[in-house]
């Protein structure tokens, strides 16, 4: 997809990284939307995270011009993306777009995001407003704000309908990793996703580090993307999701909220999660035992500094 030089100064090379894990149908739709981008210099990179369903072979045949990196095991969202990011940086990509494999991006989106980054070197990360793929008038993500009393990432405009189509940049706390564009220069400065998280909070953490290094993080609300809202881990009420959300919330607070109230915040995070377990137990009885076990494991693993993939 990289067009040859025409003798003039080439536009910046854009690397687009997509991570797949046993979801070839969604990934194929995502890759097709990348192929349709009107930006002239795109290096598409597919990272397969140890799929067991033949995804690498199928997607490699269907999209022979993409770079295919196949991990032997599921390295999680953080390390899976890092493999693609590292390849893109070594290939000379000046900008890198991260896309969830269940996300779709319109033809003009990459052009618009790069235009924003090219116009202002202080902007390190930019992202589109993200709508539901099956209801394109409903916003799933309109920028992110961190509730510092809990270290909790919040999707602004979540499930809003009929939002205004303005063209004003909005400075935000974070951009969702579902559709996030960044400068390679920024990643050289602050590093890639922190593998301690495995999945969840890694995008919020990256943006926190970017802002701490003096970069701006912005939403471009006139640029769109569409998300199918994956339930790979059984949804946000599943024990697996609750484990990573709780443990990683604690990790995020310990890393990024450096204040005299940090201990109080960590306690509030624990109280909130155990309150969730209590409420589930009151409604479900012993059927909520897996949620209680997940909360216990998350608490213990945080205290014992067990990071990355849950063992």
Tokens representing 178 are: 């579902």
150 vs 188: CA distance, rounded Å = 29
pLDDT in tens, 171-215: 999 999 999 999 999 999 999 999 999 999 999 999 999 999 999
pLDDT tens readout for residues 35-90: 999 999 999 999 999 999 999 999 999 999 999 999 999 999 999 999 999 999 99
Q: Which CATH number fits domain 14-227: 2.40.50.100, 3.30.160.40, 3.30.530.20, 3.90.550.60?
A: 3.90.550.60
Q: Where are the domains of the chain?
A: 14-227, 239-303
Q: Which two tokens stand for residue 163?
A: 């939002």
Query: pLDDT (tens digit, 9 = 90+) per residue, 229-278?
Result: 865 555 778 999 999 999 999 999 999 998 889 999 999 999 999 999 99
For the entire predicted model, the pTM comes to: 0.94
CA distance 219 to 233: 27
- Tracing tokens 């890694």 back to the chain, one arrives at 202
- In the chain, the N- to C-terminal Cα span, in Å, equals 39
More confident call, 251 vs 2 = 251
Nearest of 5, 172, 195, 249 to residue 81 by alpha carbon:
195
CB 44 within 8 A of CB 35: yes
Helices (H) and strands (E) in the chain, counts: 9, 12
């Amino acid at each position: 997809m990289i067009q040859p030089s025409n003798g003039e100064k080439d536009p910046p090379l854009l690397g687009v990284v997509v991570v797949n894990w046993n979801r070839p149908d969604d990934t194929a739709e995502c890759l097709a939307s990348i192929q349709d981008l009107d930006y002239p210099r795109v290096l598409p990179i597919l990272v397969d995270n140890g799929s067991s369903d033949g995804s690498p072979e199928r997607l490699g045949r269907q999209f022979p011009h993409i770079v295919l990196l196949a991990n032997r095991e599921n390295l999680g969202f953080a390390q899976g993306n890092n493999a693609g990011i590292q390849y893109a940086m070594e290939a000379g990509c000046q900008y890198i777009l991260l896309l969830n494999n269940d996300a779709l991006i319109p033809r003009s989106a990459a052009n618009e995001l790069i235009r924003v980054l090219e116009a202002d070197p202080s902007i390190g990360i930019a992202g589109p407003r993200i709508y539901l793929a099956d209801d394109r008038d409903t916003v799933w993500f309109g920028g992110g704000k961190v509730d510092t009393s809990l270290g909790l990432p919040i999707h602004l405009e979540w499930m809003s309908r009929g939002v205004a189509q303005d063209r004003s940049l909005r400075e935000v706390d974070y951009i969702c990793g579902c559709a996030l564009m960044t400068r390679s220069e920024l990643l050289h400065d602050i590093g890639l996703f922190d593998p301690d998280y495995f999945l969840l909070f890694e995008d919020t953490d990256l943006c926190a580090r970017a802002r701490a290094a003096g970069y701006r993080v912005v939403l471009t609300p006139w640029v769109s993307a569409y998300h199918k809202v994956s339930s790979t881990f059984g949804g946000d009420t599943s024990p697996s999701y609750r484990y990573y959300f709780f443990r990683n919330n604690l990790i995020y607070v310990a890393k990024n909220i450096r204040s005299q109230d940090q201990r109080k915040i960590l306690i509030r995070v624990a109280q909130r999660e155990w309150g969730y377990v209590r409420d589930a137990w009151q409604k479900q009885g012993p059927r909520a035992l897996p949620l209680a076990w997940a909360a216990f494991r998350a608490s213990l693993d945080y205290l014992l500094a067990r990071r990355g993939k849950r063992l």
